[in-house]
């Protein structure tokens, strides 16, 4: 019993071998310590190993020893150690680091996710896998370069986010407050014209159609009784998707089985999968500019109840009239969840192009549109569909860049205690860390309100553009703020 008690004190549920021989029952253990645990030495070795690193006290001796061991002598600055690969015969570098210094590498212009040697750039572009994929894509009927973008000359007016911030910081307090005041006035004017009123934040905003009930479970992740796909990700995403479906159905009806569901910016396709399986639609088309693992369309194919097609194409190059499944269907629903920045504008342009399809009831080809907007700070002037409306409100293309950048104030970083402390210190000196006036000395609440107003301005301009295209449009809040900060969506039919 004493042996078991002592063993448990040192992290084991039963006595270790040899303990009873060293300390027989009833014997005294005073002045003695139990044997070391088996893993103790390993932990010490790991600690010692972690301390090793750097170039060493004697760099020349270290390099000589690595050459003797046929190890690469290239030092990895980020990892603070030498490369562990074997060196190529006749050199002191491995195959990867042999020509780093004499042959610099640059990013591939076709696919910047990888690099190549600068002196082989022209050859690499010809045989790059991204080039091959692009050639295959150009053969598709639904591909048309920049078909959903504005004129190329408009891109010269777009500036990067860092430049936008510099311009905002360069504005005087009076100029910035004047711009924000004009934004608020324009939002009020558009809201009155479109019949939009800002709803209160309430849990009842999350709609849950009865058809989506199998997707819900208990806890952070959906329970065992929920739908198979719903168990693979957090329940808050399920609730957002169900609310998007519920708001769209409330606006345009559920639709019949012959509806073709077109999800743009689909990602893994969970929104589309939930939609077609809940509403029993016959056709699902998913579009995104890249491939993903663990896609939801795999599970939809298993049911054999809906046909699924996945297209890998940038929305700016997507000619919707060339998609066979869409052309063969009399009714098409265009949906998307959190389409970043200009992707929302591209989706609106694609929806408008649906009405140009030839055939019976061409004007009714678009059943409805349901797009949850997101990341307004990534909007571009060339892609923005409501440029004329924005200009008619008294703003300029240059001010669009500022309004777009200020949308980030609505959701980014607010409520962080460290940010509040930094703001308080900066306010004492009336400048930020770089010595600039702190956004016209606007308070945090004023900046958040200004950011929300900038978001509303861009989205309401889009809603008016849809109405000018002959569609009934609505702008709604589909989720409370505590579920997602990007909780607004555009509806049209």
C-alpha span between 323 and 261 (Å, rounded) = 12
Ranges under pLDDT 50 in the chain: 7, 12-25, 27-40, 42-43, 45-51, 218-223, 225, 230-232, 360-363, 426, 428-430, 432-434
Show contacts of 156-163: CB within 8 Å, 24+ apart. 157/381, 157/382, 157/397, 157/398, 157/401, 158/380, 158/381, 158/382, 158/401, 159/401, 161/377, 161/405
C-alpha span between 274 and 269 (Å, rounded) = 9
CA angle 101, 102, 105 (to 5 degrees): 70
Structure tokens belonging to residue 46: 């790991």
Structure tokens belonging to residue 8: 């448990």
Question: 3-class DSSP state for residue 294?
Answer: coil
The whole-number pLDDT of residue 30 equals 47
The whole-number pLDDT of residue 334 equals 94
The whole-number pLDDT of residue 103 equals 75
Structure tokens belonging to residue 481: 């703020």
Sign of the C-alpha dihedral, residues 191, 479, 276, 209?
negative
Q: How far apart are the first and last CA of the chain?
A: 79
Q: Which residues contact 379 (CB under 8 A, 6 or more apart)?
A: 341, 342, 345, 400, 404, 458
C-alpha span between 406 and 301 (Å, rounded) = 43
pLDDT tens figures, 346-395:
999 999 988 766 554 444 578 899 999 999 999 999 999 999 999 999 99
CB contact at 8 A, 400 and 384:
yes
C-alpha span between 219 and 346 (Å, rounded) = 37
**422 Rama class: left (phi>0) / alpha (psi -120 to 50) / beta:** alpha
CB contact at 8 A, 128 and 108:
yes
The whole-number pLDDT of residue 264 equals 95
According to DSSP, residue 383 is labeled T
Residue 326: CB atoms within 10 Å: 21
C-alpha span between 64 and 139 (Å, rounded) = 56
The position carrying tokens 């004499």 is: 102
CA angle 275, 279, 283 (to 5 degrees): 70
Size of the chain, expressed as the number of residues it contains: 493
Strand (E) positions, 302-418? 307-312, 332-340, 366-374
Q: What b/e readout covers 192-225, taking b as 16+ CB neighbours within 10 angstroms?
A: eebebeeeeeeeebbbebebbebbbbeeeebeee
**299 Rama class: left (phi>0) / alpha (psi -120 to 50) / beta:** alpha
The whole-number pLDDT of residue 331 equals 87
C-alpha span between 316 and 343 (Å, rounded) = 8
C-alpha span between 347 and 333 (Å, rounded) = 12
C-alpha span between 284 and 139 (Å, rounded) = 22
Residue 324: CB atoms within 10 Å: 11
Sequential DSSP letters for 90-114:
TSSS-TTTTTTTTS-EEE-SS-TTS
C-alpha span between 439 and 177 (Å, rounded) = 9
C-alpha span between 18 and 35 (Å, rounded) = 9
Sign of the C-alpha dihedral, residues 322, 326, 332, 335?
negative
C-alpha span between 449 and 455 (Å, rounded) = 10
H helix intervals, 407-443? 417-429
Q: Which residues contact 348 (CB under 8 A, 6 or more apart)?
A: 369, 371, 385, 462, 465, 466, 490
Question: 3-class DSSP state for residue 27?
Answer: coil
């Amino acid at each position: 019993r004493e042996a078991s008690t002592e063993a448990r004190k040192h992290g084991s549920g039963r006595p270790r071998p040899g303990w009873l021989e060293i300390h027989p029952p009833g014997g005294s253990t005073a002045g003695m310590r139990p044997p070391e645990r088996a893993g103790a030495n390993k932990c010490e070795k790991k600690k010692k190993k972690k301390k090793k690193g750097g170039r060493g006290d004697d760099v020349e001796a270290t390099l000589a020893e690595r050459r003797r061991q046929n190890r690469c002598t290239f030092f990895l600055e980020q990892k603070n150690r030498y490369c562990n690969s074997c060196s190529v015969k006749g050199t002191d570098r491995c195959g990867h680091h042999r020509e780093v210094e004499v042959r610099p590498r640059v990013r591939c212009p076709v696919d910047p996710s990888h690099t190549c040697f600068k002196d082989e750039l022209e050859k690499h572009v010809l045989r790059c896998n991204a080039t091959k994929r692009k050639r295959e894509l150009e053969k598709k009927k639904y591909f048309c370069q920049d078909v959903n973008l504005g004129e190329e000359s408009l891109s010269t007016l777009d500036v990067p986010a860092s430049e936008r911030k510099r311009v905002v910081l360069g504005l005087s307090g009076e100029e910035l407050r004047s711009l924000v005041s004009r934004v608020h006035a324009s939002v009020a004017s558009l809201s009155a014209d479109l019949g939009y009123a800002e709803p209160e934040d309430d849990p009842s905003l999350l709609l849950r159609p009865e058809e989506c009930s199998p997707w819900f479970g208990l806890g952070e992740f959906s329970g065992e009784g929920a739908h198979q796909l719903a168990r693979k990700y957090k329940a808050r995403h399920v609730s957002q998707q169900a609310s998007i479906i519920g708001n769209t159905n409330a606006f345009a009806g559920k639709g019949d089985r012959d509806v073709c569901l077109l999800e743009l910016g689909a990602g893994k396709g969970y929104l589309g999968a939930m939609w077609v399986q809940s509403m029993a639609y016959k056709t699902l088309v998913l579009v995104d500019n890249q491939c993903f693992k663990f896609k939801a369309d795999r599970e939809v194919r298993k049911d054999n109840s809906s046909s699924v097609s996945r297209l890998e194409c940038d929305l700016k190059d997507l000619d919707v009239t060339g998609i066979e499944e869409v052309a063969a269907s009399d009714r098409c629903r265009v949906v998307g969840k959190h389409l970043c920045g200009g992707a929302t504008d591209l989706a609106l342009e694609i929806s408008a192009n649906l009405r140009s399809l030839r055939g019976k009831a061409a004007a009714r080809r678009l059943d409805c549109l349901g797009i949850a907007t997101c990341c307004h700070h990534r909007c571009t002037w060339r892609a923005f569909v409501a440029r004329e409306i924005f200009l008619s409100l008294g703003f300029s293309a240059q001010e669009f860049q500022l309004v777009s950048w200020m949308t980030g104030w609505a959701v980014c970083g607010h409520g962080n205690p460290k940010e509040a402390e930094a703001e308080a210190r900066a306010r004492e000196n009336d400048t930020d860390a770089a010595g600039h006036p702190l956004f016209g000395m606007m308070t945090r609440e004023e900046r958040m309100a200004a950011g929300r107003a900038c978001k509303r301005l861009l989205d309401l301009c889009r809603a008016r553009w849809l109405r000018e295209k002959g569609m009934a449009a609505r702008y709604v809040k589909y989720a409370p703020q505590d579920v997602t900060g990007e909780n607004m969506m555009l509806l049209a039919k």
